[in-house]
Amino acid sequence: MRACEVAPGVFETTMMAGAAEEVQAALAATIPCPKRLGRPAEFGERVGALLENPYLSAPHSYSRDSLTPLSMSC
């Protein structure tokens, strides 16, 4: 059995759409790479890739915002 984790951070959601532009910009500035809020489709693509990739055999955690492995940087 393999276990991978995706811990999302701040994404463009209905709730975030109601936040002021300044709030959204401030949150995006805290994301290492890319400097923007995540998109729901990107989250779904990452989860799908984890499920479909037979090479991923060890537990791994992906960062909460840029969805890159925690050991990588942009």
The Cα–Cα gap between 21 and 2 comes to: 40
41: its two tokens: 């489709």
The Cα–Cα gap between 5 and 1 comes to: 13
Is residue 51 classed as helix, strand or coil in its secondary structure?
A: helix
Written as tens digits, the pLDDT of the chain (74 aa) is: 556 677 778 899 999 999 999 999 999 998 888 889 999 998 888 888 878 877 765 666 666 555 555 554 44
| Domains identified in the chain, total number | 1
For tokens 């290492």, name the residue: 32
Is residue 8 situated within a structural domain? yes
The Cα–Cα gap between 21 and 60 comes to: 34
Is residue 73 situated within a structural domain? no
Is residue 30 situated within a structural domain? yes
State which residues form the domain around 11: 4-62
pTM for the model stands at 0.62
